Each structure stands twice: as structure tokens, then as C-alpha cells.
């Protein structure tokens, strides 16, 4: 198989990340140096991001690289989003791991490997690349969640994720096998043609098993039980990666499966999916209200947010891809900021993370800027106008109204109202005066560190998205998908 | 031939059930070997002798032996020999042996000239597998190497004692 220069150029983000993995691994083998190895990985990821940006800028035409991958505007947008989330996680990990007693450098290697899996998913147009991408995304995550091996909770979280993720992969593989038995091909285009022509009951069963596997990774409601425990156990930067890059990559491939591989033709599965979205919104929000742990609260709120995002996917129609892109973009930027503040408050890593609401009591009076960033991010998660979250919700509701999904829209509205309650509860505790001594307080120089700069940038980007979304909307419009058939 | 395919499938399911209900890891692994052999038999029936041979050499052979070694090493102790004797009761090896015997009987039946099934007529040999792996699936091979690296780094980090 000969690949042409243009194909290599189109694959450059993947190749650059792969090269980064090899270089970082060799650098670790030569000499362990936390700062140096972190810088190397960040440089490599930045180069990949620049390559993505350049290709989006010159409006690179869609390029098929072997039957497995396609690099089009859609793939480039999601690759850029995943790389941004990975870069943010890398900078946060740097601040966080300073206090870690064991070997710190593997985190960056695992992070780049996982990001490569995410990039593969963004480009996947074949079930083989879907599966390999998903595994490459998940396997480094087992070790990242359980990174502080000596502690009980991270280890427990890692083990839970490992076992349940393996079960989900088994469902996914069985689904793919059933679809293959009917279609005789693994490429999305052929499968799309098959389902467009009517499909069959076994093909439908395969589609259902596939959705179970992907629904687990997105933690939609009946498959969400692992989420709060894993988020709580995982080190704060890893939790931010799980909530952003990992879920974005899976949603990107799910959207492509729906548009190109005929997911929309399986009407009864779309119906089931709308129940899942409804349940995710209601259960996610209701359980988030009861949490006193910030990481658990953000976990439940991410379940609800992916319920909202699913509404845009279910609605279908011409605006769906753009709406999902807008929602994921705003969600990723906002979540990175929120988890960033949690990470910076917990850094350098101690016995436990600053994850109880009580730890944040009076944060405003100790670290006013950090508390302001968290406030802005929580407002955006709640979807208040002039923040990014509002633009995302606006898109979701627009597509929902177009598709007349009234009861799902009702759930979105009620869910947002409940969401406002628990986001405001955390926000109020930031401003309460509290005379007692505090264990958790971000270091005074946090703003000069890379992690601090990252959260500031996330907040500025979030406000830019909310106040002047036009350039981002233009970006989303060039990164849409054309339905097959 | 169709009969042997379904026989192998039934044996694979029965053996796998014994794996997950087994309380002793070594006994479970023994059943897993039978299950993998049955799956290999199905590959042979489908005209993919290369995939079948790989299944036996790599899974039932190399990986399982590694598993058994590790499990045995973890159990090393003073009472090992005694334990070994207790393990070798007919109760433990009877079920895997019967299932493996059934597989052998089915295989002999096919080899001695059973009726052919259309699925087994087109043979997929090593050459065709290689052409596909280094043709359209080239990137899958490359990504597979990254997957192994990820697993290696993860295992190194989690398994380290210091």
C-alpha cells in the first residue's frame, strides 16, 4: 500500500502525536525530568494542533487515507478540540503531579497515547478503526485513573473503569460482528447503504449492541453507574480528561456513525436513544443535587450535559452536526475551566483532592481571581446568557424545536432549572465568609504557572464564545458532515 | 461439516461457562484452552486455516501457558505438591477432557471425509491475510503497535513495586 504525500500531509496530526509518543518515551528512557518531559509532550501536541489549524484554515478537502480513516473538516474540528483538551490536561497534570512521590513522567506518555486514540476516533470511517481507536483511548486511561497506585480510591476507580469498559467493548464487538454478518463490510459507507435499503432485525440488534458500548463510554443513564466513582477516584486532571477529550472523541464517532453509517435509518433505536437522553438529563441532574463532593457533582452534571447533547443528535436534520459541534465546543471549554480550578486548588497533589464543597468555602476571600473563574465556569455550565453554555443550549433547543421533540425539550428546560440550583449552591459557598482554618488553598503564585494561564485562557475563550460566537459558528459550518446516500 | 461447526460452537460455549463458574484459576484456564481450541475448530471449518492455527499457537499455546505459569507462580508455597495432588482428581480434569475429546471426534469425522459446506470452500491462507494487513489495514497494524505500547506502559506503571 503506497500512501501519497497529500495523504501523509492529511494524516500529519496523527503522525505528529505518534512521533511525540516515541520521542517522549525515549526521553524518559534517557533521563527522567518532569519539567523537560512535560514540555516535550506539550510541544508535540501543539505542533499537531497547529497542523490541524493550518488544514482548517486552507479548507483542506476531504481526504481518504486507506479505507480506515478519512480526514475531512469534521475530523479536523474534533481533532483540534481533542488536542486542546489534551493540552489543557497536560498543563494541569504538570501543576498537580509536582507533589507526587512516584514516577511522574509516564502520565504524559499515557496522555499522548490516549489522545492518539481520540484522534483516530475523530477520523474513523470503518468499524476496525472505531474499535482500535476506542481501545487506544481507554487502555492508557486505566493507568491514568489509577496513577497514584498506592492510594485506595484511584485504584478502585481504575479497576471499575477497566472491568466495565471491557464489558462495554465486548458488547460493541458483538454488535459490530452482527452488523458485519449482515452487510459483509465494515466500512461506514457500506453499512449506511445497507441500513438505508431497509436493514434487518439482526442488523438492528447489532446497532443496539453498538449503542450500548458507546453509551457506556458516554455514561448515558442506564450505563452511568461507574461515572461518579471513577471521577471521584481519578486524579483531578485525569477526571477533566475523562469528562472532555474522552467523551468528545466518542461522541464524534457516534455522530459520524449516525450520519454516514445509517444510524438515523434505525428509527426504533433513535426512539430508544431519546429515552436514554431523557433519563440522562433527569437522573443526572437530580443526583447532582444531592452531592457534597464537587468531582461527583461535575460527574453527574456531565451525564446530564451529554443528555442535552444527545437531544441535538436525535433531532437530526441539517443543523444537527453543527449543534452537536457547538455544544461539545462550549462544554469542553467550560469543563476544562471548572476542572482546572479544582485541580489548581488541589495542587500540588496531597492526601486527597480538594473535592468537598466545604473546601471551597470562602475561596473568593483567599483567591479572588480563581474563585471568579470558577464562578464564570459554573454560570456557563448552567447556561446563563453571555456565556458559552448559553450558545450550546440555544443550538440544542433550536434543533429540538425544528424536530418537534417537545417532551425532550421539556426535560432540557427542567434539567437546566435543577442544574442552576446546584451550580448556584457551590457558587454561594465560594463567597461565604468562613473564619476556620483551611487545608486547601491554591498556592499564591498559581496565576504565573502554566495551569493558571490555561484556566484564564479557558475563561477568556468561554466569554468570547458567549459574547461573540460568529467566528466559532463559521468554524462549525465548515466542519459539517454530508449524509451518505 | 455443518454438524461439526455447531458442535464446536456448543463446546466453546460450554467450556466458557465452565471458565466463568470455576472457582480455581488453574481449572478455569484449562477450560479456557478448550474453549479456544473449539473456536479454532470453527475457523478451520470456515476455510480460514491460518486464523485457526494462529488461534491455537498464540492464544491456546503461548498466552495460556503464560497465564498458567503466572497463576502457578503466585501459588508457590510449602503445600504446593500436596495441592497439586489434590488438584489432579478426576473431578477437575473430567469436564475439559470430555469436551476436548468431543472436539477431536468431530475433527476426525471431518478429516475422514464428512460432507463439505459452502463456507469452507474458499480458503483464506496466510498470504491473503498478509496482503490485507499490509494493504488496506496498514494503519490498523500501526495503531495496534501503539495499543500494545499503551498496555505495556500502563502495566509497567501499575505493576511497579518500589
Residue A196 has pLDDT above 60, yes or no: yes
Q: Among A134-148, A302-316, B44-58, which stretch is predicted with the lowest mean pLDDT?
A: B44-58
Q: Among A15-19, B103-107, B135-139, which stretch is predicted with the lowest mean pLDDT?
A: B103-107
Mean pLDDT confidence for A173-202: 91
Give domain limits for chain A: 5-478
A87-97 residues labelled b (16+ CB within 10 A) or e (exposed): bbbbbbbbbbb
Q: Among A175-179, A296-300, A363-367, which stretch is predicted with the lowest mean pLDDT?
A: A363-367
Of the residues B86, B116, B149, which one is the last residue of a structural domain?
A: B86
Judgement on whether residues B129 and B79 belong to the same structural domain of the protein: no
Spell out which residues of chain B touch residue A67, defining contact as CB-CB under 8 Å.
136
Q: Indicate the pTM of the whole model.
A: 0.90
Question: Is B95 inside a domain boundary?
Answer: no
CATH code where residue B59 lies: 1.20.120.1200
Q: What percent of chain A has pLDDT over 90?
A: 66
Judgement on whether residues B76 and B154 belong to the same structural domain of the protein: no
Q: Higher confidence at residue A20 or residue A102? A: A20
Q: Among A46-50, A176-180, A266-270, A333-337, which stretch is predicted with the lowest mean pLDDT?
A: A266-270
Question: Is B154 inside a domain boundary?
Answer: yes
Give pLDDT tens digits for A412-465. 999 999 999 999 999 998 888 776 656 666 666 666 678 888 888 999 999 999
How many angstroms separate the CA atoms of B62 and B76, rounded?
21
Q: Does A289 touch chain B (CB under 8 A)?
A: no
Q: Which domain holds residue B142?
A: 125-161
**Using the beta-carbon criterion (under 8 Å), do A66 and B137 form an inter-chain contact?**
yes
- How many other CB atoms sit within 10 Å of the CB of residue B82? 10
Mean pLDDT confidence for A81-90: 95
For residue B147, the chain A residue with the least C-alpha distance is A136
Contact in structure between A261 and A273 (CB atoms under 8 Å): no
Judgement on whether residues B77 and B130 belong to the same structural domain of the protein: no
Q: What percent of chain B has pLDDT over 70?
A: 84
Among the partner residues B137, B147, B155, nearest to A68 by beta-carbon distance: B137
Strand residues in A67-205 grouped as ranges (E):
69-71
Among the partner residues A120, A136, A147, nearest to B150 by beta-carbon distance: A136
Q: What is the average pLDDT value for chain A, to the nearest integer?
A: 90
Residue A111 has pLDDT above 80, yes or no: yes
The CA–CA distances, whole Å, from A333 to A127, A247, A285, A381, A482 equal: 29, 13, 20, 10, 26
The CA–CA distances, whole Å, from A300 to A35, A242, A279, A376, A389 equal: 34, 13, 12, 19, 17
Question: Is B100 inside a domain boundary?
Answer: no
**Using the beta-carbon criterion (under 8 Å), do A21 and B135 form an inter-chain contact?**
no
**Using the beta-carbon criterion (under 8 Å), do A139 and B154 form an inter-chain contact?**
yes
Spell out which residues of chain A touch residue B143, defining contact as CB-CB under 8 Å.
116, 120, 129, 132-133, 136
Judgement on whether residues B26 and B73 belong to the same structural domain of the protein: yes
Q: What is the pLDDT of residue A485?
A: 44
Give pLDDT tens digits for A284-325. 999 999 899 999 999 999 999 999 999 999 998 888 999 999
Q: What is the pLDDT of residue B46?
A: 83
For residue A126 the three cell numbers come to 470503518
Residue A155 has pLDDT above 70, yes or no: yes
d(CA A211, nearest CA chain B) in Å: 22
Query: Cell numbers 466495565 label which residue?
Result: A164
Q: How confident is the model at residue B69 (pLDDT cuts 50, 70, 90)?
A: confident
Q: Does A147 touch chain B (CB under 8 A)?
A: yes
Who contacts A109 (Cβ-Cβ below 8 Å, separation ≥6)?
Answer: A21, A24, A25, A28, A41, B153
**Using the beta-carbon criterion (under 8 Å), do A66 and B144 form an inter-chain contact?**
no
Residue A105 has pLDDT above 50, yes or no: yes
Q: Higher confidence at residue A128 or residue A436? A: A128
Question: Is B107 inside a domain boundary?
Answer: no
Q: Does B149 touch chain A (CB under 8 A)?
A: yes
Q: How confident is the model at residue A89 (pLDDT cuts 50, 70, 90)?
A: very high
Number of independent structural domains in chain B:
2
For residue A37 the three cell numbers come to 518531559
Q: How confident is the model at residue A360 (pLDDT cuts 50, 70, 90)?
A: confident
Question: Is B97 inside a domain boundary?
Answer: no
Q: Among A194-203, A248-257, B21-30, which stretch is predicted with the lowest mean pLDDT?
A: B21-30
Amino acid at each position: 500500500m503506497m500512501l501519497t504525500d497529500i495523504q501523509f500531509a492529511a494524516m500529519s496530526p496523527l503522525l505528529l502525536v505518534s512521533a511525540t509518543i516515541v520521542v517522549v518515551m525515549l526521553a524518559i528512557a534517557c533521563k527522567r525530568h518532569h519539567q523537560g518531559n512535560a514540555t516535550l509532550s506539550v510541544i508535540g501536541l501543539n505542533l499537531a494542533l497547529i497542523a490541524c489549524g493550518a488544514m482548517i484554515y486552507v479548507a483542506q478537502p476531504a481526504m481518504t487515507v486507506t479505507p480506515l480513516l478519512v480526514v475531512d473538516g469534521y475530523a479536523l474540528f474534533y481533532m483540534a478540540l481533542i488536542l486542546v483538551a489534551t493540552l489543557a490536561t497536560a498543563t494541569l497534570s504538570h501543576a498537580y503531579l509536582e507533589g507526587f512521590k512516584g514516577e511522574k513522567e509516564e502520565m504524559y506518555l499515557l496522555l499522548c497515547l490516549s489522545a492518539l486514540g481520540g484522534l483516530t476516533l475523530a477520523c474513523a470511517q470503518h468499524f476496525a478503526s472505531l474499535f482500535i481507536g476506542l481501545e487506544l483511548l481507554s487502555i492508557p486511561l486505566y493507568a491514568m485513573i489509577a496513577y497514584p497506585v498506592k492510594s485506595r480510591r484511584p485504584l478502585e476507580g481504575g479497576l471499575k473503569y477497566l472491568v466495565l469498559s471491557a464489558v462495554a467493548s465486548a458488547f460493541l464487538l458483538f454488535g459490530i460482528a452482527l452488523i458485519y454478518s449482515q452487510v459483509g463490510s465494515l466500512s461506514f459507507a457500506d453499512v449506511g447503504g445497507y441500513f438505508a435499503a431497509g436493514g434487518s432485525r439482526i442488523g438492528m440488534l447489532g446497532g443496539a449492541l453498538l449503542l450500548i458500548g458507546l453509551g457506556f463510554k458516554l455514561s448515558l443513564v442506564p450505563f452511568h453507574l461507574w461515572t461518579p466513582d471513577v471521577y471521584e477516584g481519578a486524579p483531578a486532571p485525569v477526571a477533566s480528561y475523562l469528562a472532555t477529550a474522552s467523551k468528545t472523541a466518542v461522541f464524534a464517532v457516534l455522530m459520524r456513525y449516525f450520519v454516514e453509517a445509517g444510524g438515523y435509518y434505525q428509527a426504533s433505536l433513535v426512539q430508544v436513544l431519546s429515552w436514554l437522553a431523557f433519563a440522562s438529563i433527569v437522573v443526572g441532574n437530580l443526583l447532582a443535587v444531592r452531592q457534597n463532593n464537587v468531582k461527583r457533582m461535575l460527574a453527574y452534571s456531565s451525564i446530564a450535559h451529554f443528555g442535552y447533547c444527545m437531544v441535538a443528535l436525535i433531532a437530526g436534520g441539517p443543523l444537527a452536526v453543527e449543534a452537536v459541534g457547538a455544544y461539545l465546543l462550549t462544554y469542553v471549554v467550560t469543563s476544562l475551566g471548572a476542572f482546572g480550578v479544582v485541580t489548581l486548588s488541589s495542587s500540588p497533589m496531597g492526601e486527597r483532592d480538594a473535592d468537598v464543597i466545604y473546601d471551597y468555602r470562602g475561596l473568593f476571600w483567599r483567591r479572588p481571581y480563581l474563585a471568579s473563574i470558577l464562578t464564570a465556569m459554573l454560570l456557563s455550565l448552567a447556561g446563563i446568557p453571555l456565556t458559552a453554555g448559553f450558545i450550546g443550549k440555544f443550538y440544542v433547543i433550536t434543533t429540538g424545536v425544528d424536530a418537534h421533540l417537545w417532551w425532550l425539550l421539556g426535560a432540557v428546560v427542567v434539567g437546566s432549572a435543577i442544574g442552576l440550583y446546584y451550580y448556584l449552591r457551590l457558587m454561594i459557598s465560594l463567597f461565604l465568609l468562613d473564619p476556620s482554618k483551611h487545608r486547601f488553598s491554591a498556592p499564591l503564585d498559581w496565576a504565573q504557572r502554566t495551569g493558571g494561564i490555561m484556566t484564564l485562557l479557558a475563561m477568556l475563550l468561554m466569554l468570547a464564545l458567549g459574547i461573540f460566537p460568529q467566528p466559532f459558528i463559521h468554524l462549525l459550518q465548515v466542519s459539517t458532515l454530508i449524509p451518505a446516500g | 461439516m455443518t454438524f461439526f461447526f455447531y458442535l464446536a460452537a456448543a463446546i466453546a460455549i460450554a467450556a466458557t461457562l465452565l471458565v466463568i463458574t470455576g472457582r480455581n484459576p488453574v481449572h478455569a484456564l484449562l477450560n479456557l484452552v478448550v474453549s479456544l481450541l473449539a473456536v479454532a475448530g470453527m475457523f478451520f471449518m470456515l476455510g480460514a486455516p491460518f486464523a485457526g492455527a494462529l488461534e491455537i499457537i498464540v492464544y491456546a499455546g503461548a498466552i495460556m501457558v503464560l497465564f498458567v505459569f503466572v497463576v502457578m507462580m503466585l501459588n508457590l508455597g510449602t503445600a504446593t505438591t500436596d495441592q497439586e495432588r489434590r488438584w489432579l482428581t478426576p473431578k477437575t480434569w473430567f469436564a475439559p477432557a470430555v469436551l476436548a475429546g468431543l472436539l477431536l471426534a468431530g475433527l476426525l469425522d471431518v478429516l475422514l471425509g464428512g460432507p463439505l459446506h459452502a463456507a469452507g470452500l474458499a480458503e483464506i491462507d496466510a498470504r491473503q491475510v498478509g496482503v490485507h494487513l499490509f494493504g488496506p489495514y496498514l494503519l490498523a497494524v500501526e495503531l495496534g503497535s501503539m495499543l500494545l505500547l499503551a498496555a505495556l506502559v500502563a502495566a509497567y506503571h501499575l505493576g511497579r513495586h518500589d
